[in-house]
Amino acid sequence: MSDDKLVTGVKPIVLIPKNETHENIENSIAAFNQPLANLLTHIGLPTENILSPIEERRKIIFALESTIEILPIEERLKSTYLSKFTVAVSVGLFDGALNFLWDETIKALRRLAANFDLQYFLNIAQNQNNKYRNLVSLEDMEAISDHDLLEISRRIGLISDINYKRLENVNYLRNHASAAHPNDNSISGIEMLGLLESCLKYAIIAKPDHSVIQLKQLFDNIRTKEIPLEDFPIIGSDLVKQPQERIDDFLLSIFGIYIDPRTSAPIRKNIDRLTPNIWAAVSEDTKFAIGTKFGIYRKNGDVDRKEAVQKFLETVNGQQYKDEDSLAAELLEKLQNLKTVHFEWNNFYNEYYHAKSISESIPANGLPTGVRKLFVKVICICYVGNGKGYRDGIDENAVVFYNKFIEAFTVAEVKDFLQLFTDSEFVTDFNYLKPEKRLKQLASFLKSKTKDPHITNVLDLIISFPSRSLQNIASDSKYKDAMKFVK
């Protein structure tokens, strides 16, 4: 008997939508769906709620080709995780598919950072958290948490604020509806297509905007050329037009190069000539962050770096920001570690130890000025929580420390809290009900800290703001007008 006769009457499995009806695709999906279920039954494994419905898979298969067409063919051929994504959605493992999609997204963001300027990216990473200080290569970027990778990419300008929120949403669903972590959540075919499109458009094929490319060129030139003295006022006046975060990050990056003992004299000369032209535009937090380095290098006996910090501060006339001991720098590093842990999956089990350590590092005479704003941001983020888990979405062991810190807030800290709503990282989780509820409770408590009608007006606005909208309050005209009177 010939092979042709053996397969007579057997319908082929077809998953390519062109010239195929919805019915044919559904029949093809069903054709291998039942054998999979039979295999699970045969070896004694559960079959209920394992594979996504055939109808949901059909929606993705019919739209997949047009969605993925935005990815150039040469990139498509290298996208192994997208191949796994396609196989996973075809067999109905949407939770696994989401995990593969996120892996491709993270790989793309790392590649984007490396192609832009790896040293600059890693300098910013170190400024965000000192535990990243020894990273030097693309492979080392695996040590950077997913949230920190997104946040650093946003700060640099590799992704915009709105696209940062889109990708954070994918990250949230990856943590709560994918195979990456145990969960009972489900996701529909239409949702999967939306997530695929977000990752493709805003990460996998993303390009930095023109102003960011100009910043990269300046960073390159400082490291490789002797820039004429007369050019620095022009460079400075253009640089200070960048967003505040970008100015701060740029200065911290060239400061890191400046204090490195391996840096050559011509590079230091470029930095000495540039910094006086941009110092006035740098935030107070960043100035204090630089000043705290003097104390920690002094404590560690790092004479070369301590003297480089002294020279840097003298050049910009910023000696008043110098911290003679290491307490502020120590507290700064602990706050950075707590923030990173908070945005990781298992934060409920790890925040306590960091919060306790911070409590032990606060000086008896109060918070050092240089870390106050970061302290308020991190403690409020952790107090409000991320909405995950089964109770209040917080580390319940650590909350005793958060309560203690917040009870000690003065009017200065309350003002810092009100300013935080313009911070994309701070408002990340405010479209979820649990964080929103705790945030409004926090705002209610802070009203007891002041009688200033302008401050209480903003706090009342936060408390009464429409549900699931607080992440957008900074763009609300009432908030903007009210904040004009908070000095």
- Angstrom distance (rounded) from CA 133 to CA 117: 16
H-type alpha helices, 71-160: 73-76, 80-91, 94-128, 146-156
In tens, the pLDDT along 387-408 reads 876 678 899 999 999 999 999 9
* pLDDT of amino acid 275: 98
pLDDT category at 7 given cuts 50, 70, 90 is: very low
Comparing CA positions, the residue from 159, 165, 180, 162 lying closest to residue 98 is 180
Per the model's pLDDT, the better-predicted residue between 228 and 53 turns out to be 228
In tens, the pLDDT along 240-267 reads 999 999 999 999 999 999 999 999 999 9
Q: List Cβ<8 Å contacts ≥24 apart for 391-398.
A: 392/434, 392/438, 393/432, 393/434, 393/435, 393/438, 394/348, 394/438, 395/347, 395/348, 395/349, 395/350, 395/351, 395/352, 395/355, 396/348, 397/351, 397/352, 398/351, 398/352, 398/354, 398/355, 398/356
pLDDT category at 2 given cuts 50, 70, 90 is: very low
pLDDT category at 3 given cuts 50, 70, 90 is: very low
**Burial group, residue 6, by CB count within 10 angstroms (0-12, 13-18, 19+):** exposed
Task: Supply angle C-alpha 238, 211, 267, rounded to 5.
Answer: 60
123-127, 182-186, 406-410: least confident range: 182-186
Comparing CA positions, the residue from 149, 471, 148, 171 lying closest to residue 338 is 148
* pLDDT of amino acid 383: 96
* pLDDT of amino acid 101: 95
Tokens of 310: 């002294």
- Angstrom distance (rounded) from CA 327 to CA 298: 12
- Map residue 311 onto helix, strand or coil: helix
Comparing CA positions, the residue from 142, 200, 144 lying closest to residue 170 is 200
Question: Is residue 456 pLDDT above 50, yes or no?
Answer: yes
Total residues belonging to the chain = 487
When mean pLDDT is compared over 24-28, 68-72, 477-481, the highest value belongs to 477-481
- Angstrom distance (rounded) from CA 410 to CA 358: 18
- Average pLDDT of the segment spanning 453-458: 96
Place of tokens 């408590």: 445
In tens, the pLDDT along 412-438 reads 999 999 999 999 899 988 888 899 999
pLDDT category at 345 given cuts 50, 70, 90 is: confident
pLDDT category at 183 given cuts 50, 70, 90 is: low
- Mean of the per-residue pLDDT values of the chain: 89
Residue-range domain boundaries for the chain? 22-116+128-204, 210-321, 327-483
> What proportion of the chain, given as a percentage, has pLDDT over 90?
61
- Average pLDDT of the segment spanning 6-18: 59
Measure the N-to-C terminal CA separation of the chain; round to a whole number of Å: 91
